């Protein structure tokens, strides 16, 4: 929700680029996305290198199909 609220301040294209970069880096938290979108807008390189923090868990986000959400509405979700 916080990431979507960034649309109140930033252009959708800039936010989209930041989210794509965050997914590529495996840093999918709000703070990472906000940092990346600010860097995108300000035309400066991000300072978000997770290689120097090997103890932090990596996020692996799979693609979700819309049909998966429909099961929530039908009550079939486990």
Structure tokens at 11: 């252009």
- Chain centroid to Cα 4, Å, comes to 10
* pLDDT (0 to 100) of residue 50: 65
Average pLDDT, the chain: 83
User: Which has more confidence, 59 or 30?
Assistant: 30
Q: What is the largest CA-CA distance in the chain?
A: 47
- pLDDT at residue 51 above 80? no
| pLDDT band at residue 71 using 50, 70 and 90 as cut-offs | confident
Q: Domain limits of the chain?
A: 2-66
Instruction: Answer yes or no: is pLDDT of 1 > 80.
Output: yes
- On whether the CB atoms of residues 4 and 36 are closer than 8 A, the answer is no
For the stretch 13-35, pLDDT in tens is 999 999 999 888 877 789 989 99
């Amino acid at each position: 929700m916080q990431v979507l609220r960034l649309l109140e301040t930033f252009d959708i294209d800039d936010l989209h680029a930041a989210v794509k970069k965050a997914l590529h880096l495996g840093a999918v938290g709000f703070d990472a996305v906000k940092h990346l979108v600010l860097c995108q807008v300000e035309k400066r390189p991000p300072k978000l290198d997770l290689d120097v923090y090997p103890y932090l868990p990596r996020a692996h986000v799979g693609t979700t199909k819309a049909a998966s959400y429909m099961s929530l509405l039908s009550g079939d979700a486990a």
